[in-house]
Structure 1
């Protein structure tokens, strides 16, 4: 039965494929626009049925007849809302996700079944899905088959995983309190510390990209092999939530087994489907891991999790005699220490656990006995202090605890203490580099950053595990580090001054046309890639370099390899191609300077005719903020880019080349400016540390220890 649900102005904008401003204009200018049926004066809500009728009526400014295709995915989402109440919506999405898993794994079977009528599909489909995903209803009403077919079409357009991610994101946009995601940078760092994922792509940070990391990103710039003797074949997250840690594990290795447990049944079902679409060996179960462990006796090579903090109702009374408390009964107010021991109980010998912890766990008096036992028995290997803001919406800077279960009893030696609070831009790289050196047996002592601390030094009355309190000071800071940084900053300041863009302040009207018009005129071609589906063959040789969407965002060479990034056909890049990611935080378009890589998925590849269209000119306008209104709506993962809708000026080729040169110079200026800021921040930190710890002194008298004279003079003149 279809319900008449309410939609907001943002929902209407998505349904019509326009911006919020257009909806406001329609309300003011069209007397027949539906009146609000709920909400507030500042955030009104409208009847979906009335909005649907108005948008689809002939002559409506929101109809598809105005040179615009209505987004089928948004209409499908509202159809789902109309057939299921809020309490049932998660189950409906999970069922549709199970269907997508079935189509993903048995595409031919669905193609044959879909040829029948709705009654035949309804009768046969449940049994076939349950062969792949047992948690699917035994009966499918025939009136749900049109929804099934619509979801199948969306899966064809986006891939099964992409289609489910869209539905899942829409659900959690309206039920955000059910989900507390772990930032991708944290999940990637945790997996690196746990030993999963030896092949980490290297590359510089993106010049000019101030947005968050894109989905799928890894810890950058830290190559190196797995730890000797440690091979991660299984990963457990006992508080998996949306499965962020486990999804990142599958991205790193398709062969790894992932296991998770989640207390919220709806979230657990959605996460189970999400992981099943990305890997063949996934297992997500429902329940509270402390009170009702769903994996009793099971061990994993790695345990990674973001447990709940300050949970007073974790089960202290009923779990007082639990055998997991090998290091001591966790105090009532120390739920985090219960999760630590739960993780250790599920580790195989020599396995590694990485837990995100509040800083108070390292110094509260109530937990010092357990902390002491963890140190004495060699279970605690490292404590890593993270920068403030590394985890959004958390008021304090959190820590990562790295623990292990030694294969044999051993005398504890040292614990690694790392403080990355002063390195918010590259804290993950710094932490991984220090951990690898420590794990290889090296002693570290980098003032203010990392130090291997003898366990005996920690076993005092407090047993304080706050990293910053155990690091060496900068009293012996090498002078060449400061002078070298100052010289580098001076050089960069000169470079920035030289690269400052020169433009004429003469406004002009640009004759804009949609990119689809340029495609129609043959001024460029558009290429897109698709992943290999089960049972399909690929024409791409194993080991070929693959250009990924992440490579384009990070402005680095191709880092992917087949078959990890298996694609359906071989589309090779060429110098002068323009690559545009399909999902971004901020608009990105890169001109490729090298060719020969296989085009990856989630990318638009534009190949302009150099006699008719300048590549840098095209990339500059595609990545400009003016085109944001032409792309798709923003979501929790970013902006979905429909590059055909972008608008580009139609100019003579000589004018295009002048614009292209300006855009190239602007990109160089942006890169230099960002590097200048990073070097300047480093100089500030080094100088402050040196002054406060005695390694540096203020200038005496007229001693000129600032920037070179010519730089100071240039600064005053500007």
Structure 2
């Protein structure tokens, strides 16, 4: 009966594209590459939805300790009831936002699994800039997946593993290359597996599984990362890779300017499915373009209200008053009466940029010259929200430009090597 209810919920979620349910295909792949769990091991999912991954990876081990967190209280209750009815009475699922309000700060698990929710424009970076979980680097606003990856790794016990599913673009986006480099350099990244298109519930974009390991103090440093490309397989096809789908790549070969960890880049060209890869890139571009419209703020013309810069205060005065300090070189509010995004947004005004440029044209921050309009805090927050959306819009545009270059390069390579041909009609197929 429980399985029937779960199946109906999963079918409904597949149609709606819900983030609360990992597809059966992703669950199958996570369970396969996670491998068996020892008796008494702890498995943790910080974005567990209704508990799909927790149930499948803990299914074979006796006495496995199950822990989870889910932002949607109803889904968290569903996961807890499901665990209890499945004979896991000791499973504990907490409700709450894992990134902003970690319910398990001291938990260290032998296995952490996760399919994070789709990266939105605000995963909490502004509130979490100095969080200790970002030991590999603070993710940008456009790299929410790398925030989840580091959150999972922070909960991994020495000798334990993390298996996390992400979109394929996380392996090559420019904004994430420093964090990817640290994953490789520190010997944390064990494998990257490119799954076939169609394994996710709500889209056909290929999914990557990242397998991380937290080294013990006496572990030998690894010499390579295993990259596996299953994109040429059917979604329900075999998960055991063949020899020509695997490459053990030396760490030094991955640490170039781009730190592109896409498995297909290192697997023999004959196994590369150009058509599937190109179609997935087109779909991802369409999704990114759709997301852009929601990020660009709907601004209106000013009608009769006072100018925003009628009365101003200098940045130097704010520093002297102790209302502002710096974070990674950028000013940050220390007062509830001053909004950080509002502050940073007006520092980018044309007049302040002119003040911050020397006569030789060299850009420099001049705290004595930059001036900020004085507004009520409620108005500051309105402006701050608009500036924040613009910043996120610009970051997404940059990411989209990189994605476009990748799609164009792939199309050009496929057209010239014979793997792709122009359509015979207007279908685009």
- TM-score bracket for this pair, using the shorter chain length: 0.5 to 0.7
The structure-2 alpha-carbon separation of the partners of 1:269 and 1:452, relative to structure 1 and needing over 3 Å to count, comes to same
Deviations 1:523-567 (A, max 9, x none): xxxxxxxxxxxxxxxxxxxxxxxxxxxxxxxxxxxxxxxxxxxxx
Alignment match, 1:223: none
Contact 1:196-1:232 at 8 Å conserved across structures = no
Are 1:258 and 2:66 an aligned pair?
yes
Matched, 1:235 2:31: no
Distance, in Å, in 2 between the alignment partners of 1:417 and 1:167 is 33
Q: Secondary structure at the match of 1:235?
A: strand
Q: Following the alignment from structure 2 to structure 1, what is the Cα–Cα distance between the partners of residues 25 and 264? A: 22
Residue 320 (1) aligns with residue 135 (2): no
The separation in 1 between residues aligned to 2:71 and 2:208, in whole angstroms, is 24
Of the candidates 232, 250, 259, which is equivalent to residue 422 of structure 1?
Answer: 232
Contact 1:285 1:294 in 2 (8 A): yes
CA–CA distance in 2 between the matches of 1:425 and 1:348? 32
Deviations 1:256-295 (A, max 9, x none): 1111100011111111111111113201000010000010
8 A contact 2:73–2:95 mirrored in 1:
yes
SS across alignment from 2:239:
helix
Look up the SS of the partner of 1:317 in the other structure.
Answer: helix
Q: Which residue of structure 1 lines up, in the alignment, with residue 358 of structure 2?
A: none
| Structure with more contact order per residue of length (Cα contacts < 8 Å, sep ≥ 6) | 2
Q: Tell me the distance in 1 between the aligned counterparts of 2:121 and 2:162.
A: 23
Select 2:56's aligned residue among 245, 248, 254: 248
* Pair 1:250–1:415, CA change in 2 (3 A): closer
Structure-2 separation of matches of 1:456 and 1:374: 12
Larger Rg: 1
Quick check: 1:452 aligned with 2:262?
no
Tell me which residue corresponds to 1:360.
169
Q: Return the alpha-carbon distance in structure 2 between the equivalents of residues 268 and 292 of structure 1.
A: 15
**2:213 aligns with one of 390, 394, 404:** 404
Match of 1:392 in 2: 201
Return the alpha-carbon distance in structure 1 between the equivalents of residues 195 and 35 of structure 2: 19
| Aligned counterparts of 1:327 and 1:410: Cα–Cα separation in 2 | 20
Correspondence for 1:182 among 3, 19, 22: 22
Q: Is the 8 A contact 2:21 2:52 kept in 1?
A: yes
Q: Provide the TM-score with structure 1 as the length reference.
A: 0.36
Q: Could you say if the C-alpha distance between residues 461 and 232 of structure 1 is closer, same or farther in structure 2, counting changes exceeding 3 Å? A: farther
Q: Is the Cα contact below 8 Å between 2:161 and 2:214 reproduced in 1?
A: yes
Q: Which runs of 5+ in 1 are unaligned?
A: 1-157, 198-229, 435-445, 476-688, 694-718
Distance 1:246 1:192 in 2: 13
The partner residue of 2:268 within 458, 463, 472 is 472
Which residue in 2 is equivalent to 1:521? none
* Residues 166, 183 of structure 1: alpha-carbon distance in 2 compared, 3 angstrom cutoff: closer
Q: Distance in 1 between matches of 2:58 and 2:188?
A: 27
Residues 179 and 416 of structure 1, relative CA distance in 2, 3 Å threshold: closer
User: 2:71 touches 2:96 (CA, 8 Å); kept in 1?
Assistant: yes
Matches within 5 A, 1:504-519: none
